[in-house]
Amino acid sequence: MPPHPTLYVRRSVFASVGAFDTSSLRIAANYDWMLRLLLAGHRVAYIPQVQVRMRTGGASNRSLGNILRKSAEDFAVLRRNGFSHAAAAATLLAKNLRTLPQLVRRHRTEIEVNR
């Protein structure tokens, strides 16, 4: 999934994809929306320049409870967008494994700061 702070879309895309589902998704509304955008076949382009710099972390990994909630919401998002149970589980596993290096770096930085 593209990082949500650097995803730029035309206003017309919102009309075709629909709004963010913030009523049932507290953490994964952006993931759901971007997945719907990509599955609808909207054209995307990669810009090989830094557009946004942001800190590691956020609502999705602020606590163990949030990590578990994010994973449950991500799984639900995948299922309601047509992924089979097995495909949703594999996608979620891959998505979470890709974030491990980020969490390790964050943990090391916190240890160094607290020394």
Kindly list the domain boundaries of the chain, sorted by start residue.
4-113
Inter-residue long-range contacts of 10-14, CB under 8 Å, 24+ positions, other chains counted: 13/37, 13/42
The pLDDT assigned to 51 comes to: 83
The H or E element spanning position 4 is none
The pLDDT assigned to 5 comes to: 76
The pLDDT assigned to 82 comes to: 96
Residue labelled with tokens 């599955």: 39
Q: Using CB atoms within 10 A of its CB, is residue 34 exposed (0-12), middle (13-18) or buried (19+)?
A: buried
Round to whole Å and give the CA distance between 100 and 58. 15
pLDDT band, very low/low/confident/very high, at 37 (cuts 50, 70, 90):
very high
Round to whole Å and give the CA distance between 18 and 35. 12
Least confident range of 8-22, 37-51, 58-72: 58-72
